[in-house]
């Protein structure tokens, strides 16, 4: 359901924050699935300027670092996307985990 509504979520700040909160709650139990969903959100045509790499983002992604190599690569790719936009917290995350 989340993936099917990704275009809407990517345009609505409250929806984005709600989904991030939900994903954070499930990241430790289902890290690969959570990273897959987050990657789908990041792949939307437009990502608004208000979407930043936050502590919540880090909490969503960090459990995926201990999964298989594909999931780990996706986590790092997501952080790199934020870093490309000049996000300092994403840079700190990458420095810690690469």
Number of domains in the chain: 1
For residues 13, 85, 42, 53, the Cα torsion angle rounded to the nearest 10 degrees is -60
Instruction: Provide the 8-state DSSP code for 78.
Output: H
Confidence of residue 75 (pLDDT cuts 50, 70, 90): very high
Helix (H) or strand (E) holding 69: helix 69-84
- Give percent of the chain with pLDDT exceeding 70: 91
Q: What is the pLDDT of residue 12?
A: 80
Q: How far apart are the first and last CA of the chain?
A: 32
What global pTM score does this model have? 0.89
Distance CA 8, CA 21 (A): 16
Q: Domain containing 46: what range?
A: 3-97
Distance CA 93, CA 53 (A): 9
């Amino acid at each position: 359901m989340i993936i099917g509504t990704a275009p809407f979520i990517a345009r609505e700040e409250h929806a984005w924050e709600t989904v991030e909160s939900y994903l954070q709650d499930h990241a430790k139990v289902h890290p690969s699935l959570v990273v897959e969903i987050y990657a789908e959100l990041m792949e939307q045509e437009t990502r608004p300027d208000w979407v930043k790499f936050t502590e919540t983002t880090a909490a969503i992604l960090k459990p995926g670092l201990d999964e298989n190599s594909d999931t780990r690569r996706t986590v790092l790719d997501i952080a790199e996307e934020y870093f490309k936009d000049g996000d300092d917290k994403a840079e700190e995350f990458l420095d810690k985990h690469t």
